[in-house]
Amino acid sequence: MWNSLSRRGMLELAGLGLGGVALETLLTGERIRAGDSVVKGHGLRPKPPHFRPRAKSVILMMQNGAPSQMDLFDPKPELSRRDGQFHVEKVETFQKGSENNRLAGTPFTFRKYGKCGMDFSDQVPHLASLADQWCMVRSMHTHHNNHTEALVIFTTGKFLHGRPTLGSWVSYALGTENQNLPAFVVLRDPKAYNNNGTRLWENGWLPALYRGTEFASAAGRPPVLNLRPARSLPEGLQGDNLTLLAELNKSYLARHPQESELEARIVNYELAARMQLAAGDVADISQETEATRRLYGLDNEVTASYGMRCLLARRLVEAGVRFVQVLQPGHQPWDTHKDTKGKLPEIARQVDLPSAGLVKDLQQRGLLDETLVIWGGEFGRLPVSQNGTGRDHNRNAFTLLFAGGGMKQGFTWGATDDFGYRAVENRVSVNDLHATMLHQLGLDHEQVTWPHAGRDDTLTDPSVTNATVVEEILS
Amino acid sequence: MRIELAVILSLIMGACSNGLMPIGYCDELSGRDAKAPTFEQDVLAILNVHCLRCHGHESRQDGLDLRSPSLMMRGGVHGPVLVPGSARSSLIYQKVSSRSMPPKDAPPMTQAEIESIRHWIDSGAREGQPSAAYYESEARPVTSEERDFWSFRKLEPPQLQEVSRASVLTSPIDALVFEELEPKGLTLSPPADRIALLRRAYFDLIGLPPSPAEVDEFLQDDSEFAWSRLLDRLLASPHFGERWGRHWLDAVGFSEVRGTDYNQELDRKLDYAPGMWLYRQYVIDSLNQDKPYDQFLTEQLAGDELIDWRSLPKLTEEARELLVATSFLRTAPDLTWDPPDNTLITRMGVLNQTVETVANNVLGLSLECARCHTHKFDPITQRDYYRLMAVFTPAMDPHGWLTPHDRDVQHEKLVLHAVYDVSLSPPTWFLRRGDHLTPGPTVEAGFLSVLCDDEAQTSRVVSEPAGSTSGRRLALAKWLTNPTGRAGALTARVRVSRIWQQLFGLGLVASSGNFGVQGERPTHPQVLEWLASELVRNDWQLKPLLKSIMMSAVYQQTTSSQSASSQATSDSVDPDNRLLSRMRVRRLSSEAIRDAMLATSGALDLAMGGPSADTEVLPSGQVVFPVKKESSSSHVRRSVYTLARRNFYPTLMGVFDQPSMVAACSCRESSTVVLQSLTLLNDEFVMEQADVFAGRVIREADESTESRIRHAWRFALARDPNEEELRSSGRLLQQQSDRIRNAIVQSDTLDSSSSVDVSEQNVSRQALACLCQVLFNTSEFLYVE
């Protein structure tokens, strides 16, 4: 489907046989230092967790823009009853247009789904059909009311830029099982960056080894840009080129034996050769059945693009990738400041079916038990109307969905006030979420450390954030 | 017109002289009824909900601002609205109690809220004193110990005559570096070979490789002045500004997109800044002219205050240039052109990032923490932060905001993205916890206390600007570039450390964006101090400084370890070679890699200046230069002229660590990731340039295989191949010719209608292109020794 390099040709490439020593260096990162101290034993080789894990990998389905909890997951009859009235509590706003502080009920219809009776609105019927799989947390809250900061909090724990992201921490803590693919893969809409762009998968002050690798995901195209030669080449041609290249690069390295970077570059050409094969396999969906394609909505142009990312996420996890971050369609489509009634269904239609399809597919392949799926955005939305038709940002309450990875099933945790403005019962902070995620991977969040600015820093920094594992939602 | 700052200050102070001093700066707590309601505790929240949108935050209808008691007493067009002690005489109470305010279509005040306002006014309309501890920390004085931190001190040029071995080392830099090495049992390495040196100088100064003719010329010049002459020639090259200008553009966060640029589709009408390329040109030209750094900075911070441009009947060239220079203050993403985003919080964001860019780029300090609280590590108080912000509010007043399009100055057919004062003395509030909903007292403009000798210096924001403007930014520029002051010393240190960073891969202060307490200490403090003093002594000119660094033995060292024993020593005492007992191997920057491929293939268009070369995002997400049908060569121009998007830069450059310009970047990463290998193996541009390169080799070499290999080597790596390299290259050409010939024959038999070129010429050109592409992939091509 792409071009000329045959599987056999690729295997020849992969067997270039450059020193295992070099590979070892890349994988164990011996020479990589943080500040003045050498961090022992880091690298991408698989590493044992601290205790028995409930999940081996994570799929984070980010919904940038803040999905509206009271229009999707958190029904508020009192809010609908008081539709149009002034709210007694002056809510915290971000943009203009909510000064009137008038309550706005949802324009959508809620009902209970599954044996557990979990609430969903009619906008996400496919997510709803999995009610008995989900663990729904309605009492999430965060520290900042703007997307930029809140997304950085969601991915790094604090609002300042420059800290490592979730996938980086996890790749560092556990390494990865497939040495032919990156440990941390990001699947974004090629048409847009999310808010913050590439910062949402940066390695911060962890070594660059742990940075997320962006895979392209347009249907029918290679998953990594430049995975295949742009021009058709005769078989074996690139292999011979690489042989000469390795020879030249090794002699250059011999002149600078102290430069581990030059060694890593040689190893990268080996990895590139192997990746052309492995990543191609991962993205080759020709063997997927019609039923599977439909499950992800590949047969429908509304869902096909996001569906392709969801399908790739499954294939990556299946291939042993540790952390997959799937991004929503467009820039921040859930940011419905106006026209909830028109805009929310638009994005829900693109996301609902493929998201549910991914969970179903993981389940039917027996992968859900070892994969933690997290679905949600950076904060929630307000109960009061913005400009009569939309909702402004709300850091005080939002809903997240979890599936697999040893979370309770068909279980709802936490509650917001009568209007959905504030999480009031069993509040869960973003930092608690992080601690819980690491816990399910068999990691003690206080023990995954990296020396930074004079101390052993962590993802959760519990002395500041009070991050705690939410035991009640674990099965 | 000279602005009388004293008058403005007295106005501010006058408003506060009714026993209602802004909180924090006077002590009149004694004898106060602790239970009396206060503005902050009892009233501000009510006003926030009901009043401040129209009378404070977003606008000030009827000239009325209700954000503080003193402003209420200043009042609006209907006069003062507050009479402390008498609610009945206070217009604000009359309006709310009669329910004529807030207006009918807004949520009404509750009776309890109206009662709270009455009670507050009747009991004296007190402003709350924040706790003493709060102000002690957020507005505390800076101590002399804190001012004594190494980077906050005045310049202290080292005493060179005390350096014992100065005589055997060629420059003061060598002597001072040696001072750091000697105690560790290390020494300087011998000079690199001449070709390595030549490539190093070319890439470092102009960002391009030497041509084979330039290599020959240098190798044949055996005079002792050859190196010095080479440096002079490169420093005088117009391409110098393109290389060094790019470093500056990184540090200011240069972009031609007004907003945050998260969507592939760029709104060419509203979101694209059509005149930003003029600023790039200004930067390149300034570096080529070696404009003194103090002048360069002053023009960018306050070019509009150096000339009374508003009184000119028509903008002169000089005025235009000075306005363009202030685009420096327009680099922060500004979304306020989009009406829903034109909110106070977004405006504050633009202002905050502008202040941060200036502080970080010029002083190597991050002020972000001090927005919300006094810096935990650096002696930078929250009060200092807002005083510094007040330097910028006359031009960028969140309460009297100009959208980016309104701020632009149209000049003939050009759009100048300038910054200029729009009001002389707008109030600037100290924001509690950085939150615009909880404004504290107003503050006067000031500098950072820790970089001043005393409070008098901190608040002396005085200059003699041209035209009707506050002169605050001009005063800031003078303060930042006064070589005898603390700020000027830090400005010079940051500048020379970053110059060093470009030449050695690591700054003298490795934490390029942090010269504060949490930052790293200089690896060679004496070198830093000497160079900073030299910069000032050379009238802030860069080129003499660059030359003196590059003339040093330290810069000319080889990158290789000399012996196993010296390697062992340096590995144990200085494993990261921070002390420079040899030169560091450095990977080329994203621009230099692309430019070097173009220069090597011969396709490079060296045309300077003008609007950017356009880029295009393909459906795959790949960003490329579209190849135009007409004879335009904009896709093969130097990379510095690429359309400067914040996120969607060409993929080829992105994988080689082109920084995102959502914020300024003081130090690029130099990563080694697998996507780089895939790109150099498979990217269309790389393959195309390898082919063009092959064509060039065929044209310029004679027909022998050896001649072609030698030419390819000399173009790409500036040297001849050795015997072994000749042999293995020859073998590759043979193998690839066979493969290509076979492939052509096969496809020809399969599809006889295709017009495949089966000539040997074509076969050998394609095979040669393989070798050319291998050379593009070598570490030797991608790194300078």
DSSP state of B263: B
Q: Which residues of B touch A18 (CB under 8 A)?
A: none
CB contact under 8 A, A235 and B779: no
Q: What is the mean pLDDT of residues B464-473?
A: 95
Question: What pLDDT is attached to residue A263?
Answer: 83
Min Cα distance B678 → chain A (Å) is 6
Range 86-105 of B in CB contact (< 8 A) with A: 105
Question: What pLDDT is attached to residue B402?
Answer: 95
Q: Which residues of A touch B682 (CB under 8 A)?
A: 226-230
Q: What is the mean pLDDT of residues B317-325?
A: 97
Min Cα distance A216 → chain B (Å) is 7
- The mean predicted confidence, pLDDT, of chain A is 87
Min Cα distance B739 → chain A (Å) is 7
Question: What pLDDT is attached to residue A15?
Answer: 37
CB contact under 8 A, A33 and B576: yes
Per-residue pLDDT band for A27 (boundaries 50, 70, 90) equals: very low
Q: Which residues of A touch B58 (CB under 8 A)?
A: 96
Q: Check CB contact of A99 with chain B, cutoff 8 Å.
A: yes
pLDDT score of A25 more than 60: no
Per-residue pLDDT band for B6 (boundaries 50, 70, 90) equals: very low
Which residues, listed in sequence order, are joined to residue B442 by a DSSP beta bridge? B429
pLDDT score of B165 more than 60: no
- The mean predicted confidence, pLDDT, of chain B is 88
Q: What is the mean pLDDT of residues B280-299?
A: 98
**Least confident piece of the model among A254-268, B296-310, B743-757:** B743-757
Question: What pLDDT is attached to residue A265?
Answer: 87
| CB nearest to A230's CB, from B107, B265, B687 | B687
DSSP state of B331: -
Question: What pLDDT is attached to residue B729?
Answer: 97
Min Cα distance B213 → chain A (Å) is 24
Calculate ∠ Cα B302-B307-B311, nearest 5°. 125
Per-residue pLDDT band for B134 (boundaries 50, 70, 90) equals: low
Min Cα distance B105 → chain A (Å) is 8
Q: Give the contacts of B311 (CB within 8 A, at least 6 positions apart).
A: B467
Q: What is the mean pLDDT of residues B265-289?
A: 96
Per-residue pLDDT band for B23 (boundaries 50, 70, 90) equals: very low
| CB nearest to A240's CB, from B343, B571, B735 | B735
Q: Which residues of B touch A197 (CB under 8 A)?
A: 262, 646-647, 660, 662
Question: What pLDDT is attached to residue B169?
Answer: 62
Distances (CA, A) of B346 to B253, B353, B431: 18, 11, 15
- The 10s digit of each residue's pLDDT in B723-735 is 999 999 999 999 9
Q: Which residues of B touch A146 (CB under 8 A)?
A: 345
Higher pLDDT, B30 or A51: A51
Per-residue pLDDT band for B631 (boundaries 50, 70, 90) equals: low
Q: Check CB contact of A455 with chain B, cutoff 8 Å.
A: no
Min Cα distance A350 → chain B (Å) is 18
pLDDT score of B8 more than 80: no
Question: What pLDDT is attached to residue A6?
Answer: 39
Q: Check CB contact of A274 with chain B, cutoff 8 Å.
A: no
Q: Nearest to residue A226, comparing CAs of B659, B589, B651?
A: B651
Contact between B311 and B442 under an 8 Å Cβ cutoff? The reply is no
CB contact under 8 A, B672 and A265: yes
- The 10s digit of each residue's pLDDT in B177-195 is 998 999 999 999 999 999 9
| CB nearest to B560's CB, from A94, A256, A275 | A256
Question: What pLDDT is attached to residue B504?
Answer: 96
Question: What pLDDT is attached to residue B34?
Answer: 54
Per-residue pLDDT band for A369 (boundaries 50, 70, 90) equals: very high
List domains and CATH numbers for chain A: 53-219+298-473 (3.40.720.10)
Query: Chain A: residue nearest B681 by CA?
Result: A229
**Least confident piece of the model among A68-82, A201-215, A229-243:** A201-215
| CB nearest to B677's CB, from A161, A211, A269 | A269
Per-residue pLDDT band for A468 (boundaries 50, 70, 90) equals: very high
Range 208-247 of A in CB contact (< 8 A) with B: 208, 211, 213-214, 216, 218, 221, 224-231, 234-238, 240-242, 244-245, 247
Question: What pLDDT is attached to residue A273?
Answer: 87
Query: Chain B: residue nearest A219 by CA?
Result: B620
Per-residue pLDDT band for B368 (boundaries 50, 70, 90) equals: confident
- The 10s digit of each residue's pLDDT in A191-210 is 888 888 888 998 888 877 78
Question: What pLDDT is attached to residue A433?
Answer: 98
Q: Check CB contact of B26 with chain A, cutoff 8 Å.
A: no
Where do the structural domains in chain B lie, given as residue ranges? Answer: 30-128, 152-234+504-511+524-586, 243-487, 587-671, 684-784
Question: What pLDDT is attached to residue B14?
Answer: 33
Question: What pLDDT is attached to residue A4?
Answer: 36
Min Cα distance B773 → chain A (Å) is 8
Per-residue pLDDT band for A177 (boundaries 50, 70, 90) equals: confident
> How crowded is residue A14: how many other Cβ atoms within 10 Å of its Cβ?
19
Q: Which residues of A touch B105 (CB under 8 A)?
A: 100
Interface test with B, best of A258, A271, A339 (most B CBs within 10 A): A258
Provide the sign of the torsion angle of the four alpha carbons A423, A429, A430, A433, taken in this order.
negative
Per-residue pLDDT band for B162 (boundaries 50, 70, 90) equals: low
Query: Chain B: residue nearest A85 by CA?
Result: B107
> How many residues would you count in chain A?
475
Per-residue pLDDT band for A454 (boundaries 50, 70, 90) equals: low
Conformation bin of residue B223: beta by default, left when phi > 0, alpha when psi is -120 to 50? beta
- SS3 readout for A239-258: HHHHHHHHHHHHHHHHHCCC
Contact between A348 and A81 under an 8 Å Cβ cutoff? The reply is no
Interface test with A, best of B348, B436, B574, B672 (most A CBs within 10 A): B672
Question: What pLDDT is attached to residue B7?
Answer: 37
- Per DSSP bridges, beta strands A398-404 and A371-376 are antiparallel
Min Cα distance B652 → chain A (Å) is 10
CB contact under 8 A, A197 and B262: yes
CB contact under 8 A, A192 and B341: no
Cα separation, B279 vs B328, in Å, equals: 8
CB pairs under 8 A between A and B: 201
Range 376-435 of A in CB contact (< 8 A) with B: none
| CB nearest to B621's CB, from A190, A194, A275 | A190
Fold of B30-128: Cytochrome Bc1 Complex; Chain D, domain 2 (1.10.760)
Q: Check CB contact of A192 with chain B, cutoff 8 Å.
A: yes
Q: Which residues of B touch A242 (CB under 8 A)?
A: 681
Q: What is the mean pLDDT of residues A94-116?
A: 91
Q: What is the mean pLDDT of residues B340-354?
A: 89
3-state secondary structure of B357: helix
CB contact under 8 A, B739 and A236: yes
| CB nearest to B264's CB, from A191, A230, A258 | A191
**Least confident piece of the model among A33-37, A76-80, A302-306, B64-68:** A33-37
Q: What is the mean pLDDT of residues B271-279?
A: 97
- The 10s digit of each residue's pLDDT in B50-63 is 888 788 877 788 88
Residues of chain B above pLDDT 90, percent: 64
What's the CA dihedral at A408, A414, A418, A420 to 10 degrees? Answer: -90
Q: Check CB contact of B436 with chain A, cutoff 8 Å.
A: no
Q: Give the contacts of B324 (CB within 8 A, at least 6 positions apart).
A: B275, B278, B279, B282, B303, B416, B417, B418
pLDDT score of B314 more than 80: yes
Q: Which residues of A touch B621 (CB under 8 A)?
A: 188, 190, 214, 216, 218, 225
Higher pLDDT, B123 or B136: B123
CB contact under 8 A, B262 and A331: yes
> How crowded is residue B48: how many other Cβ atoms within 10 Å of its Cβ?
17
Cα separation, A158 vs A156, in Å, equals: 6
- The 10s digit of each residue's pLDDT in B572-587 is 788 778 899 999 999 9
Question: Can you tell me the ipTM of this complex?
Answer: 0.84
pLDDT score of A5 more than 90: no
CB contact under 8 A, B681 and A94: no
Q: Check CB contact of B377 with chain A, cutoff 8 Å.
A: no
Query: Chain A: residue nearest B336 by CA?
Result: A95
- Per DSSP bridges, beta strands A455-458 and A449-452 are antiparallel
Q: Check CB contact of B549 with chain A, cutoff 8 Å.
A: no
**Least confident piece of the model among A458-462, B9-13, B323-327, B478-482:** B9-13
Question: What pLDDT is attached to residue B346?
Answer: 87
pLDDT score of A271 more than 50: yes
Min Cα distance B49 → chain A (Å) is 7
Question: What pLDDT is attached to residue A200?
Answer: 93
Q: Which residues of A touch B778 (CB under 8 A)?
A: 245, 248-249, 252
**Least confident piece of the model among B351-360, B362-371, B620-629, B709-718:** B620-629
Cα separation, B471 vs B3, in Å, equals: 7
Cα separation, A140 vs B325, in Å, equals: 47
Q: How many CA atoms lie within 13 A of B249 on its CB side?
A: 34
Token pair for residue B311? 């009184």
Q: Check CB contact of B108 with chain A, cutoff 8 Å.
A: yes
Q: Nearest to residue B594, comparing CAs of B645, B637, B646, B648?
A: B637
pTM: 0.83
Q: What is the mean pLDDT of residues A117-121?
A: 98
Q: What is the mean pLDDT of residues A27-51?
A: 56
pLDDT score of B756 more than 80: no
- Per DSSP bridges, beta strands A323-327 and A184-187 are parallel
pLDDT score of B628 more than 70: no
Higher pLDDT, A32 or A199: A199
CB contact under 8 A, A272 and B677: yes
Question: What pLDDT is attached to residue B743?
Answer: 87
